[in-house]
Structure 1
Amino acid sequence: MPNHLLHHQLTNTSWRCPEKEAVIAVDRSISYQELEERSNQLASVLMRAGVQKGDRVGIFLPKSIESLISLFAILKNGSTYVPIDPRLPSGRIEYILQNCDIACMISSSATLKKVLADLSDDLALKKVILTDWDGDENEKPEGHPQFIPWTSIRDEDGQRNPGPDIADVNPAYILYTSGSTGTPKGVAISHLNSLTFVNMAAEYFGIDTPDRLASFAPLHFDLSIFDIFTAVRQGASIVLVPEFYSTFPIRLAEYIDKQRVTVWNSVSSVLIMLVDMGKLEKCGFETLRLIHFSGDILPPRYLRELKSHMKNADFYNIYGQTEANSSMCYHIGAVPPGDHWKIPIGKPFPNFEVFAVNEDGRKISSPGQEGELYVKSSTVAVGYWNDGERTKERFTSNPLDPADASRCYKTGDIVKLDDKGNFVFVGRKDSMVKSRGYRIELNEIEIILNGHPLVRQAVAVAAPDEKIGHLVVGFASLVEGESLSEIDLLRYCQDRLPKYMVPESIHFLKRLPTTSSGKVDRKAMEKEALEG
């Protein structure tokens, strides 16, 4: 049977273990046979609606059984899935819809209502499949798109995939991340890019049919790729974690234990929250065998606490970017004493070549040397959707070998080597930081701050925080004679930025400090933010 596309993994597994639970939600589950058949049916609905090979289809749903059916149906139709966070400001949603020219959206009535109310009149959604509408004209939502009821899948043949044959270099999905120009970047990932990582990860971490992988990350976050596709490839079960559990750590800990989760994958800040407020001593975590964390610093004291409660688990610090997927890991054994140990990001996975280049263009090879990290692998993304300039800037030829035609991803991360050959993260070459697992481009926040009519000049800086990675703090000076409250400026940001990018606080200064060259003195404000 074919095995070179992401959705082939589902088809093959549905033949191998049809009755096995594929996706487990709080109140119900679906088998691999059902997931295969429902996604075949929805792929037929997409095809009948005129969605063609290569078209982009938006998934505008919280993670659910329906959203995973949608994901595989889109792939089977030869299309590209684009997960969109319903909590984004309307301006960002509108940008994504325009940037990748969404041909069809899969959503619920309540979620869609928010978008339709705020979209520009000249941006019309063409087709929308509604998961909670049965076709009753009396209950049809208001709006201009062609609405298609989810129940129409019942009329389709679920026994075969109706979609066209496509090459593995075709984009499977587009994930939008923070961009330095004030607009998100759509990272286009091909079937080959993704499946190269999935195949490696399944083998490297020994994922197998009895495993139950917790799926905590939302679909628009690249951590979801491991949870979903590695499980499907191996016939393991995907345990969907309700989004609101992220604010109820005790319930989250109990859910992990009750659902007999064997593999956990999240940003570090979630684990920190579990230690602080999850009452871990009440749970056994006997089935938990693998814990992956990434995105933020995990202080040693939290790691020790986690290991004391999750005694059967191996802990891995995972390093990667959306543009190249996870490329390195560090397996954590005994945690050294003290609180100043910086966990290495480790060594490259099999079939990955990772190297760092110093300012002289030479590869670093000795402990303590620093350089910018490059990733060379067939996991390196197609590029940024509809953005050739930024693609050319970050997806490059091999800087160490001009004759090498392979593409590399220039990460912008500065790293060094330790005495055991592990890479250790030093910092960002530019102003991008991580907070709560999200990548944040400080310049993007500054664009919003400086867009306020009463702001004369503003900057955003990041102060290290052991729990969430970084706290983002704004500094602003106002137009002469004008006044503006911190609350009003924060609300201005909330209307234009995702929640995780809104500054924790904003300080007003008569004038922003400058260096002797007249440039804004960011280090002075970073120091002030750090001090409080």
Structure 2
Amino acid sequence: MSRPPAATAAATGEFLHDLLLDPARHDPGRPAVIEPAAPGGTTVRTYAELARAVDAYATALRALEFEPGTRVLLEAEAGAEAIAVLLACSRAGLTFVPIAPDTPQERLRTLVGTARPALHLQAKTGERTDLPPGLGTARFAAGELVVERTPAATARRRRVPCVTDPAYIVFTSGTTGRPKGVVMSHRAVTAFYRGMLAHHLAAPGDRIAGTSPLHFDFSLLTIGLALASGAAVVPVPQRAVRWPRRFLRALHDTGATHVNGVPSIWRQVLRHEPDRLAGLATLRQVLFCGEEFPLPELRRLQELRPGMRIVNCYGATESMAASFEDVPDPLPADLERLSIGTAHPGAEMILVDEAGGVVDGPGAHGEILLRSPALFTGYWDDPEATRAALVPDPLCPQSGQRVLRTGDLAVRGENGELYFLGRTDSQVQINGNRVELGEVERRLLQHPAATAAAVLRQPSPEGGSCLAAFVVLAPDSLRSDTATTNSATAAEPAAPDQDIAPLLRAFCARTLPSYMVPAEVRVVHALPLTANGKADRAALAASLTEPEGAAR
């Protein structure tokens, strides 16, 4: 029996690159990416130039003869070249997996073992060298892709990309102690972008500053909002975001009209550079996501930029986002909580009680379920977690349709809008980054000196939030003259070697990103427990106001 010929028909449907490069057909000379350049200048990439770079990178990637859906690690900052590469991956039918250049080496190895990529891509100036054997490596710059280590040859069973293929996988913190990979298809991503565009958040000629790193899906939201609107992306380097004056200088030099970012990026700006913020003549919109915006800081932002549109974006990585709600201007004096509104066009948020029954009407409390064409496909190589998150539609389980169980609690307002109340699980947001407390606890327990650990979120002295860890050490880790467990209360600090706290923090930093490393580590004799035997986080939180027994 003869083998059928390879498929030659062009793939149909809307892929990620189709939507985001469409402006290149209509207005190729318009700026697509504007980057700050020292001193006081900018580097501009037009849509035509971006499209040419995408074509060049895609041609080089196709030459490697990967089958559709092959994973490619993309380790880079969110700049013009990285945007071209991720769009080239889309055009070549490959799945890009964005990771941060400062990813700890051990965590990178875990990601490689989990995602099983065929290729690691980094900028020509990238510093990553110690990569696992068997992984292909390449560097990119100015539209040229240079392969340093040839990827291993694999069987090519597929030929034609499909819009249901994964466009990308974003790895977040996971409860199992390993990173959790959120798989998003081309169809889901483009459906989300179209729902977002219906809110008229941007227009051709706008310049939208992105402040999130590439591995954070908020960065992909910004890229999609800008390019799908015919606007320009303004990637602000992370080294500038951290310093208020540099941040504002980047916005000024690029003529940014919009800024997307977590609320914490504004904290130091409001505190130290209010006059410069007030003087940004071009800035007319702020969109925030990832955490609640403290109302006093939000009011101060409105005072400095009267009339500026501020948009509260709510959602999870599993759908990129779910709603966009304009913040009242000015904020009412008696306002206690911002509305997250209703789902974007084409999607719907419903509330269910603890038994899974739908609750509705003003004042109804429940967990948010999201029905949307923009839902993720599943968690990479984790069918159990996928089944727990994608559940039958409670309004019509017979249909086989799945909805996202967000784990977020909300209450419905008088006009059908929702107000976020908190989480049902141990997931927290640290300056816009999603963190599973269980993953940090599991890392602490991998240290040979630790026998028990509990982690919780606490306010940071500089504003925002950080993690605090409570650790019980093995008996031989304590000095014998201070091991007085009989007289100690559960959360009373022990008196171990004073070096153990920084050692535990350094141990975490070897595998966890910086925002997941506890800012404070306290050693205790035992963890206080609730009646059902779980760590009493309320008691631990209360003890944080007491004197420390271990170094930070």
**1:91 aligns to 2:123 (yes or no):** no
Say whether the 8 Å CA contact 1:436–1:468 is kept in structure 2: no
Looking at structure 1, the residues matched to 346 and 145 of structure 2 have their Cα atoms a distance apart, in angstroms, of 49
Match of 2:33 among 23, 43, 53: 23
Match of 2:83 among 68, 74, 92: 68
Match of 1:38 among 53, 58, 62: 53
Looking at structure 1, the residues matched to 184 and 534 of structure 2 have their Cα atoms a distance apart, in angstroms, of 38
Deviates more, 1:59-68 or 1:5-14: 5-14
Match of 1:131 among 137, 141, 145: 141
Kindly state the Cα deviation for residue 164 of structure 1 after the two structures are TM-superposed: 7.0
Looking at structure 2, the residues matched to 396 and 250 of structure 1 have their Cα atoms a distance apart, in angstroms, of 46
- What letter is aligned with 2:22? N
Looking at structure 2, the residues matched to 311 and 350 of structure 1 have their Cα atoms a distance apart, in angstroms, of 28
- What letter is aligned with 2:527? L
Q: Counterpart of 2:70? A: 55
- What letter is aligned with 1:418? G
Looking at structure 2, the residues matched to 355 and 530 of structure 1 have their Cα atoms a distance apart, in angstroms, of 39
| CA gap 1:347/1:10 in 2 versus in 1, 3 angstroms | closer
Looking at structure 2, the residues matched to 209 and 460 of structure 1 have their Cα atoms a distance apart, in angstroms, of 45
Q: Counterpart of 2:488? A: none
Q: Counterpart of 1:267? A: 262
Matches within 5 A, 1:435-446: 435-446=430-441
Q: Counterpart of 1:336? A: 332
Q: Counterpart of 1:397? A: 392
Kindly state the Cα deviation for residue 256 of structure 1 after the two structures are TM-superposed: 1.5
Kindly state the Cα deviation for residue 420 of structure 1 after the two structures are TM-superposed: 3.6
Q: Report SS of the residue matched to 1:172.
A: strand
Deviates more, 1:286-295 or 1:422-431: 286-295
TM-superposition CA deviations, 1:213-255 (whole Å, max 9, x none):
1122122111122211222222211112111012211121232
Matches within 5 A, 1:228-243: 228-243=223-238
Kindly state the Cα deviation for residue 350 of structure 1 after the two structures are TM-superposed: 1.3
Task: Give the alignment's TM-score, normalised by structure 2.
Answer: 0.86
Looking at structure 2, the residues matched to 259 and 135 of structure 1 have their Cα atoms a distance apart, in angstroms, of 28
Coordinate RMSD, CA, aligned: 2.5
Looking at structure 1, the residues matched to 184 and 447 of structure 2 have their Cα atoms a distance apart, in angstroms, of 35
Looking at structure 2, the residues matched to 515 and 259 of structure 1 have their Cα atoms a distance apart, in angstroms, of 53
Q: Counterpart of 1:146? A: 150
**1:503 aligns to 2:507 (yes or no):** no
- What letter is aligned with 1:337? A
Kindly state the Cα deviation for residue 383 of structure 1 after the two structures are TM-superposed: 0.8
Looking at structure 2, the residues matched to 435 and 391 of structure 1 have their Cα atoms a distance apart, in angstroms, of 24
Q: Counterpart of 1:175? A: 170
Looking at structure 2, the residues matched to 280 and 9 of structure 1 have their Cα atoms a distance apart, in angstroms, of 39
Say whether the 8 Å CA contact 2:76–2:214 is kept in structure 1: no
Q: Counterpart of 1:460? A: 455
Moved over 4 A (4+): 132-136, 464-469
Looking at structure 2, the residues matched to 531 and 458 of structure 1 have their Cα atoms a distance apart, in angstroms, of 19
Kindly state the Cα deviation for residue 128 of structure 1 after the two structures are TM-superposed: 2.0
Q: Report SS of the residue matched to 2:381.
A: coil
Kindly state the Cα deviation for residue 519 of structure 1 after the two structures are TM-superposed: 3.8
Looking at structure 2, the residues matched to 369 and 481 of structure 1 have their Cα atoms a distance apart, in angstroms, of 52
Q: Counterpart of 1:157? A: none
**1:416 aligns to 2:411 (yes or no):** yes
TM-superposition CA deviations, 1:480-500 (whole Å, max 9, x none):
132442111111111121100
Deviates more, 1:39-48 or 1:481-490: 481-490
Say whether the 8 Å CA contact 1:353–1:376 is kept in structure 2: yes
| CA gap 1:115/1:418 in 2 versus in 1, 3 angstroms | farther
Kindly state the Cα deviation for residue 431 of structure 1 after the two structures are TM-superposed: 0.4
Match of 1:473 among 465, 468, 473: 468
Task: Give the alignment's TM-score, normalised by structure 1.
Answer: 0.89
Say whether the 8 Å CA contact 1:297–1:466 is kept in structure 2: no
Matches within 5 A, 1:107-506: 107-108=122-123, 111-116=126-131, 119=132, 123-131=133-141, 145-146=149-150, 166-281=161-276, 283-333=278-328, 334-337=330-333, 341-464=336-459, 469-483=464-478, 484=497, 485-506=500-521
Q: Report SS of the residue matched to 1:272.
A: helix
| CA gap 1:316/1:102 in 2 versus in 1, 3 angstroms | same
Kindly state the Cα deviation for residue 209 of structure 1 after the two structures are TM-superposed: 1.0
TM-superposition CA deviations, 1:357-396 (whole Å, max 9, x none):
0113222223333211111100011111121111111111
Looking at structure 2, the residues matched to 434 and 326 of structure 1 have their Cα atoms a distance apart, in angstroms, of 15
Say whether the 8 Å CA contact 1:347–1:421 is kept in structure 2: yes
Paired residues, what number?
Answer: 505
| CA gap 1:51/1:273 in 2 versus in 1, 3 angstroms | farther
Kindly state the Cα deviation for residue 126 of structure 1 after the two structures are TM-superposed: 2.1
Q: Counterpart of 1:154? A: none
- What letter is aligned with 2:23? T
Gaps of 5+ in 2: 1-9, 38-42, 152-157, 479-496, 548-552
Say whether the 8 Å CA contact 1:264–1:292 is kept in structure 2: yes
Q: Report SS of the residue matched to 1:496.
A: coil
| CA gap 1:258/1:396 in 2 versus in 1, 3 angstroms | same
- What letter is aligned with 2:101? P
| CA gap 1:422/1:214 in 2 versus in 1, 3 angstroms | same
Q: Report SS of the residue matched to 1:102.
A: coil
| CA gap 1:374/1:49 in 2 versus in 1, 3 angstroms | same
| CA gap 1:175/1:321 in 2 versus in 1, 3 angstroms | same
| CA gap 1:13/1:402 in 2 versus in 1, 3 angstroms | same
| CA gap 1:282/1:188 in 2 versus in 1, 3 angstroms | closer
Looking at structure 1, the residues matched to 428 and 85 of structure 2 have their Cα atoms a distance apart, in angstroms, of 32
Looking at structure 1, the residues matched to 145 and 19 of structure 2 have their Cα atoms a distance apart, in angstroms, of 32
- What letter is aligned with 1:172? A
Kindly state the Cα deviation for residue 280 of structure 1 after the two structures are TM-superposed: 3.8
Q: Counterpart of 2:535? A: 520
Looking at structure 1, the residues matched to 315 and 144 of structure 2 have their Cα atoms a distance apart, in angstroms, of 42
